[in-house]
Chain A
Amino acid sequence: MKKTLTVNISGIVFHIDEDAYEKLNQYLASVRRHFTPDDGCDEIMADIESRIAETLQEKISDSKQVVSLHDVQAVISQLGEPDQIGGEEEPATEEAGKRIRTEKTARRLYRDPDNAILGGVAGGLGAYFQVDTTWIRVAFVLFTFVYGFGPLLYLILWIVVPKARSTAEKLEMKGEKVTISNIERTIREELGDVKKNLQDFSEEAQDTFKKKSDFAYQDSPRRNFATLAGRFFGVFFKVVGILIGLFLMFLGVFLLVGFASALLGGPVLIDSDFGVQLFSFPALAEIFFNNRTLINMAIIGIILVLGIPLLAMIYAGARLIFGFDARIRYFGFVTFMLWVAGLGICLFIFLSGARNFSSQRSFTQEVIIPAPEAGRLILDVDEQKIRELGISPTSDIKSGRWDLLWMTETGQRNGIPRLRIRTTTSDEIKLIITKESRGMSPAVAMDNASSVAYGFIQENNRLIFDPFFTFDKSDGWRAQKVFIELYVPENIPVEVTDGLRKALDVRWYMRHEVSGKEESSPVQQLTMNYCLPGDASLLRKAFLPAFSSKPVYTL
């Protein structure tokens, strides 16, 4: 059983199968597209429809009342495909046959199979821009040196730009010379379409209107307005479309180049006054994974998840500007599935990355330091080690350098320790150093924590701390931390140098601070003992000593 439709072709009624109707409809539409209003499109279409009616009439009888798909196909092969109809009859214009119109539609971007070394992309671009193909090829080769941008672009164009297969497409590819009159004609033709649609609409509206009330309808002013509006909007949308297309293409290509350089670019991340200059995704991935396969998977996942939308953006922009259609079957579907796959990979990678942080372990070392014989205890930082990393010791390291993890020239990653200075009632200076890390299992976490290296030197009454704790580059970042707790007897004054303050995360608790040079400020400065709210919670409870913690003011 099949559904049939009733159609009126040139005044004759036919019963026609649904599939046959679709086919016929498509055929008529494609033939119509081949003619312009100048050719007398409507008249030609009417003639052709009348011929179709005649032919179909011969095919039906009392025993076979319905037009089938087969009949329609027969009629179409008899009448010819639009290419044959429009292509075989190429009208020469009346003016002495000198000016020959070779092409009706605007030039389109195709790949040129007759002028191809690889995929014909350069040939097609050359035909489109009317430039010698050699120059296009040279440009592609030159662009190879810009992050390999040339081959990438070539590949994209190869995929999305359709090949010129038929003669009509090859003509379309070469198009006409772009001249003012051609542009004007193209716009006029397009306006003609818009005008016609609007007229159809206004006629329909008139009919409805007349049926509802017997209002004498004066059509001309309204129709003129519709035409004018149509003209305006036609041009407006065309211009806006091209602008949007340009914007999308530029943005897409720009982001794609940045994206490609981030994925394939240098090994480190460079921080500067202007922000991040070079971002390397592999370098970032290395701090989370020690497995090369996982890093590669992460790169593939990111390429799919970010790259596909960017390519889609460029493609949409190019379509708006050049008006081509890739016409690849399931193109959209396959692309979408690839994107989903990329998302899946990213999720998997994220979860395996998170697993590396599932356990936490720490261990503590205690050092007793002999009290200075006289005067104050000076806490300083080893500035030489700061310079070794290429950082100026006068800069505020602890809050300004977030790129220490990437600075692996020494084969090690760096972190900033926390120093807490507290008073104690005992008469020994005690240093408690706690190293902490995470890992995918308690054993790995412990391993990571114990491979963290940190040290300090004592010179007379001076304690010189390392500015960073270090761990192996291959260990990756597993939230390694170093806490230093310094307990100083109440009767020993402490001076913290500016360098140390800028390098380490230092805080004082229950302590009067002595700062500045000995000569210039012999007077002990009155400082408020402070303990920032919430700060204590940053330290793990186990490492908070049992000391008398009443805030007091001391001189």
Chain B
Amino acid sequence: MNLENTKAQMRKGVLEFCILSLLSNKEAYASDLIQEMKDSKLLVVEGTIYPLLTRLKNEGLLSYRWEESTGGPPRKYYKVTPLGDTFLRELKKTWDELVEAVAKATTP
């Protein structure tokens, strides 16, 4: 098990949580999300986000609408559904617990 692999595994776990959080505040399309998450180094390669979005949408946590863009291809604007909201709240709770636990475990 190498370091890169471990890092990737950790990022993977929180990616879903982050996407839901970002979308709970405002509607966004994939490139916006990519931009925000690249800045925070959550995303190594952009391609990862697409299967994730599709799956969340298929599970009913996200919904989207099409919007024409000037000059570019039409964009899918995603937002969180009520079901997604509930899901997110659960995740948030778990996350907070985790942060606390990890902080305790890693501080000597």
Contacts and interface: CB of A to CB of B under 8 A. Distances in A.
Contacts of A91: 51, 55
A51 interface: yes
A50 B72 CA distance: 9
A202 B34 CA distance: 38
A48 B46 CA distance: 9
A391 interface: no
Contacts of B54: 39-40, 43-44, 47
Interface string B6-20: 001001100100000
B52 interface: yes
A94 interface: yes
A12 interface: yes
A79 B45 contact: yes
A151 to B, nearest CB: 34
A325 to B, nearest CB: 24
B48 interface: yes
A47 B50 contact: yes
A426 B46 CA distance: 112
B59 A89 contact: no
Contact of B72 (A48, A53, A84, A88): A53
A167 interface: yes
A395 interface: no
Nearest to A85: B47
Contacts, number: 81
B72 A47 contact: no
A84 B5 contact: no
Contacts of B76: 47, 50
A271 interface: no
Nearest to A9: B73
B58 interface: yes
Contacts of B71: 57
B50 A44 contact: yes
A319 B58 CA distance: 37
A78 B46 CA distance: 6
A89 B74 CA distance: 25
Interface residues of A, number: 32
B98 interface: no
A89 B15 contact: yes
Interface in B56-104: 58-59, 71-76
The majority secondary structure among interface residues of chain A is helix
B44 to A, nearest CB: 7
Interface string A282-320: 000000000000000000000000000000000000000
A80 B58 contact: no
B45 A84 contact: yes
B31 A54 contact: yes
A229 B84 CA distance: 42
Contact of B30 (A10, A51, A84): A51
Contacts of A31: 47
B37 to A, nearest CB: 13
Nearest to A31: B47
Given A12-B73, A88-B8, A51 B46 contact: yes
B28 interface: no
A267 interface: no
B74 A11 contact: yes
Contacts of B30: 47, 50-51
B24 to A, nearest CB: 20
A31 B74 CA distance: 22
A89 B46 contact: no
A80 B46 contact: yes
A87 B45 CA distance: 11
Given A40-B55, A47-B54, A51-B31, A85 B72 contact: no
Contacts of B51: 35, 39, 44, 85-86, 89, 91
Contacts of B53: 47
Given A39-B55, A40-B58, A94-B59, A51 B50 contact: yes
Given A50-B73, A57-B72, A84 B47 contact: yes
A28 B71 CA distance: 23
Nearest to A47: B50
Nearest to B56: A91
Given A40-B55, A88-B8, A80 B73 contact: no
Nearest to A35: B51
A90 interface: yes
B62 to A, nearest CB: 12
A359 to B, nearest CB: 74
A88 B48 contact: yes
Contacts of B5: 167
Contacts of B11: 88
Given A12-B72, A40-B55, A85-B51, 20 more contacts: A10-B73, A11-B74, A12-B73, A39-B54, A44-B54, A47-B30, A48-B47, A51-B46, A54-B72, A78-B45, A80-B45, A84-B47, A88-B11, A88-B12, A88-B44, A89-B48, A89-B51, A89-B52, A90-B12, A167-B5
11 contacts: A39-B54, A43-B54, A50-B75, A51-B46, A85-B47, A85-B51, A86-B51, A88-B11, A90-B12, A91-B55, A94-B59
The 3 A-B residue pairs with the shortest CB-CB distance, nearest first, are A80-B45, A85-B47, A10-B73
